[in-house]
Chain A
Amino acid sequence: MSVAEYAREHGLKRVGARPPLIQYLKMAWQRRDFAITMSVFANQAANSKNRLGKWWVILLPTIQGAVYGLIFGVIIGGDRPANFIPFLFTGVFLFSFIQSSISTGATSVTSNLGLVRSLNFPRMLLPFSSVLRQFLNLLPQIGLLLVVLIVFQQNITFNWLLMIPLLALMAIFAFGLALISARLTVHIEDINKLIPFANRVMFYTSGIFFSMERVLGNYPTLLKLMDFNPVYAFISTARGALVEGYSMSPSLWLVCASWAFGALLVGVWFFWKAEERYGRED
C-alpha cells in the first residue's frame, strides 16, 4: 500500500495542495474581510506618517495634473485638446489608478513574504488588497475631479452616472493585471524593474495629455488600432461621459468590458495555477 493510499484511507488530505478553482474562489470570498481590512489599514498606516495625512491622496494627483498641464499645455502646448483642464485631469487621475494598481499589485506577494510564510489564506487576497487600496484612494480623486468639472463646465449631466459602471470595469481590469504581474514578479523579481517603463510607454500611448485624433489624424489605421488599447478605451470613454465636447461610443464600451473580463479570467487562472509556489525562496 502506498503512502498516498494509506493517507486517503484514513481521511488525510495533502497539505498545501492547491484547491480546485471554484473552491479556491469560495475560500477567498470567505476571507474577504481580511483583505478589505488590510487595504483600509494599510492606507491609514501610510497616511499616518505625513503631517497632511490623507490629504495627500488628493494633493499628489492634483500637483501631478498641474505639472503635466504646465508642461504639455503651456510650455510645449499650442495644440491643446478642447476643454483642456477637465480633459487632462480625467486622464491623469484614471491613469494613475491603473498604473499604481499594476505596480503595487506586482510586489503584493513578494513584499509580503513574511505573511505568506506564516499564515494560510488564499494568496489571491494580496493582489486584491493592493488594488482595493488604490481604488479607495481613487474615490476622493473622483470627487475632486467632479468639483473641477463643475468649476470649468458649470453643468452636471446624467452621463456622469456612467462613471459608476466604468469605474467598476476599470477596477476589474486593474485586478486582472495585478494578478498577472504579481505572479510574474514571483517568478522573476527583475520584472519589477521594467514595470515603470511599461507604465511610461502606456502613459505616452494612451492620450493622457494629447488628443489621439489630432496626433494620429493622418494615420487612420493606427487610430483605429488605438481603440483596442485598453487604457485609451477606458480614458476616452470616461471623457465622453464627463467632459463637454467629447462623446462615448458603444464599441469602446465593448472594448472596455472585454478587456476587463478578459484580464480577470486570465489573471485569476494564471495566479491560481501557481498558488502552491508562493512563499518559496528562489
Chain B
Amino acid sequence: MAAKTKPQATETRKPVVLVDNVDVTYKVFASGRKATRRLAGGGLFSRKLNLREVNAVKKVSFTIYEGDSVGIIGSNGSGKSSLMRAIAGLTPIAGGGVYAFARPTLLGVGAALMPALSGEKNILLGGLALGFTRKQINAAVQDIIKFAGLEEFIDLPMRTYSSGMAARLRFAIAASRNHDILIIDEALAVGDQEFRNRSEARMREMRANAGTVFLVSHSMKSILDTCTRVIWIEKGVLKMDGEPKAVVDAYNLHTGSDTID
C-alpha cells in the first residue's frame, strides 16, 4: 500500500497530472449552536464571529501517468468532488499545486443552460460554453438531439422536460466533446435503461479517446471494470492508492460491504 506516490526514478511513462500536497479549505459562516459566539469576541466587523474553516482536502499528493484510468472512491463528503474541482482548476486551492499537460475538464454543462429556452437553443449555448465554435456546434446539433432522443421536443422550453429528459439533454451536450484529460462524475449516467446503455457506450468511447480519465463513482463494479488504478479518499486524506482490486477490497472491508456488487 502506497500512501503517497512521489515521482519515482523507476517510472518510465510520461506524467500527465501531478497533484502535489493539495489543500482545499472552505470558509463558511456557520449558523448553528456549535458556533463559538462568545469565544470569538463578536463585533460587527469581526469576520471570526461565526466563521468556520472546513478542510475538505488535506495534503493529497499523487502522480498520474499517460494512459491511466483513475477511479476515485470514498464515502459521501470525503472530499472527492472538491479534489476533482481543484484538479480541474475550478476551485482555488489553499496550498500545494496541481500540474497537468492539458487543462483537465469536468464533464458537466448543466449550470450554463437556461430552463426558459428551447432544447435547441440550450444545445447552442451549452456547446459554446464548452468551448465549441459556433460553426462546430451547429454541425453537431443534430447528433446531440439524436443522442438525447429528444427529436420531438427539441423546440419546447427545457423547463417543460421531465427530469429524465433534461438529464439526457445535459449529458448529450456535455459528452459531445472529446477531452485530453477528462473527469467524469458517474452521477451523470442517467435516464432510462436504453439511454443508460447509450451513455455508457459513449463514456467508454470518451475514455478511449481521452488520454487520461478520472472516474468518480460509488459503483465498485464500474470502477473495477474500467480503471487501471484506484485512489481512495477518506475525510479529505488520501487513504490508499494502487491496484484497483487491492484498494477496492480494502475499501469494502472499511465500509463493511462483504462482496463486490
Q: Which residues of A contact B (CB under 8 A)?
A: 1, 3-4, 6-7, 10-16, 31, 33-34, 37-38, 41-42, 44-46, 48-49, 112, 114-121, 276-277, 279-282
Contacts and interface: CB of A to CB of B under 8 A. Distances in A.
Interface in B56-103: 85-93, 97-101, 103
Interface residues of B, number: 48
B114 A120 contact: no
Tell me the interface secondary structure of chain A in the complex.
helix
B91 A7 contact: no
Contacts of A114: 110-111
A120 B105 contact: yes
Contact of A37 (B85, B103, B124, B130): B124
Contacts of A41: 114, 117, 121, 125
Interface stretch (B13-21, B197-205, B210-218, B243-251): B13-21
Interface string B98-140: 1111011110111110111100010011001111011000000
Contacts of B124: 37
Contacts of B99: 3-4, 7, 12-15
A46 B177 CA distance: 29
B39 interface: no
Chain B CB count within 10 A is highest, among A4, A37, A121, for: A37
Contacts of A6: 7, 15, 18
B119 to A, nearest CB: 13
A49 to B, nearest CB: 7
B187 interface: no
4 smallest CB-CB distances across A and B, nearest first, come from A16-B89, A282-B27, A114-B111, A7-B99
A48 B117 CA distance: 8
A193 to B, nearest CB: 14
A205 B85 CA distance: 46
A239 B114 CA distance: 39
B93 A45 contact: no
30 contacts: A3-B7, A3-B97, A7-B97, A11-B101, A12-B15, A12-B99, A12-B100, A12-B101, A13-B100, A14-B97, A15-B88, A15-B103, A33-B133, A34-B125, A38-B125, A41-B114, A44-B116, A44-B121, A45-B115, A45-B117, A46-B116, A48-B117, A114-B110, A117-B85, A119-B108, A120-B89, A121-B129, A277-B92, A279-B90, A282-B26
Nearest to B15: A10
B28 interface: yes
A31 B112 CA distance: 14
Given A41-B125, A114-B111, A3 B18 contact: yes
Given A3-B7, A3-B20, A42-B114, 7 more contacts: A6-B7, A7-B20, A12-B101, A15-B100, A16-B92, A33-B134, A34-B128
Given A33-B133, A41-B121, A118 B116 contact: no
Contacts of A282: 26-28
B242 interface: no
A48 B109 contact: no
B103 to A, nearest CB: 6
Interface string B9-38: 000001111101100001110000000000
A120 B103 contact: yes
Contact of B90 (A12, A31, A33, A118): A118
